[in-house]
Chain A
């Protein structure tokens, strides 16, 4: 299944509906869909907020498939080259006063997905995620 959204945060609702629909059609438990939704939300939000250096409308595509008990999701955008997984993980044990604002989203992706990969190809950012479930 595939969804194309534009680079506006209001599209996050359509992402959620798309993934719920994908989950229902494929018999994927709600808890797993929540984790996939959270991961894609964080990546797409980053891309929409920081990925484009012009004011034009851009498309972000999200495709998902299930083979056996493994779900694969691929995100593509034509924004500036950026590997979201290159940053070090945050220290979540810091006390309130020292906790930085932000920086948790990509960490959630790494915790919730089994595999993640980034590549730059044909001027596109391509992110591939995999998640297995029982």
Chain B
């Protein structure tokens, strides 16, 4: 999986390309925690080119959501494919994030 990052206005943007599973989630977790340590509180996670997510990927998002909630931050997730949105729904994760269809 490739993880591209950029700063856009008040948001720190992650673009995930490929598959977010137990073999790639550590890399993503490291980058997210680094950004939070650096003081970023608002994040956009671009799922346009994310093909797959497992519970290991959800775990990283939950860790980030918990940390940012304590700092009144927000995580927006955009461009989710239907089969990935379904995983968010069965996990009860949909209410934890601002979910937008298009990444703009």
Contacts and interface: CB of A to CB of B under 8 A. Distances in A.
A37 B62 contact: no
Nearest to A8: B23
Contact of B52 (A16, A31, A49, A101): A16
Contacts, number: 65
Nearest to A102: B59
Nearest to B89: A92
B56 A34 contact: no
A69 to B, nearest CB: 20
A73 interface: no
Contacts of B15: none
For chain B, give the interface size range.
20 to 34
B63 A42 contact: no
Contacts of B55: 42, 102, 104-105, 108
Interface in B31-61: 52, 54-56, 58-59
A34 B83 contact: yes
Interface string A81-115: 00000000000111011010110110110010000
A10 B23 contact: yes
Tell me the interface secondary structure of chain A in the complex.
Answer: helix
Contacts of A49: 22
For chain A, give the interface size range.
20 to 34
B22 A9 contact: yes
A61 interface: no
Interface of A: 9-10, 12-13, 16, 31, 34, 37-38, 41-42, 45, 48-49, 92-94, 96-97, 99, 101-102, 104-105, 107-108, 111
Given A34-B52, A42-B54, A96 B19 contact: no
Given A42-B55, A93-B92, A101-B59, A13 B69 contact: no
Contact of B23 (A12, A34, A92): A12
9 contacts: A13-B23, A31-B83, A41-B21, A93-B92, A96-B62, A96-B96, A101-B62, A105-B55, A108-B90
A45 B83 contact: no
